Amino acid sequence: MLSLTCPCCGITAEETEFTPGGEAHLTRSGPGSSDSSYEAYMFQRKNPRGVHFERWRHAYGCGKWFIAARDTVTLEVFGTYPAQTTEPPAEIVTQIRARRPDWTPEPQGAA
């Protein structure tokens, strides 16, 4: 079972109290973008085996969105941070690197 700590209300709860919101840190391709980048933004999602950044909503609690960094294989949670963040914060990256030394953060905006 996945336990997440909501950074907005400080509650650590199990996953049934949350709603998953899919991949985090997407870069929006809106009007004026090419068809291929719009398609990538709309439909193409990472499905990694390992470190992943996801949006979650504390649906049964404070109702706020946040982002969780976790491992999709072991369900280890490296940390959670507010949704108003465009890339993984330095302390989260440090946390992940401490546990997964061969992991490197992807440059943001890469499809």
**Interacting residues toward other proteins by CB under 8 A:** 8-11, 13-14, 16-17, 60-64
CB of 74 to other proteins, least distance (A): 21
Task: Confirm if 80 and 68 have CB atoms less than 8 A apart.
Answer: yes
Find, among 5, 2, 25, the residue nearest to 15 by Cα.
2
Nearer to other proteins, 10 or 101 (CB): 10
The phi-psi region of residue 32 (left if phi > 0; otherwise alpha if psi is between -120 and 50; otherwise beta) is left
CB of 60 to other proteins, least distance (A): 4
Rounded CA gap, 69 and 56, in Å? 10
Smaller CB distance to other proteins: residue 8 or 93? 8
- Which of 64, 97 has the CB closer to other proteins? 64
Which amino acid is present at 102?
D
CB of 59 to other proteins, least distance (A): 8
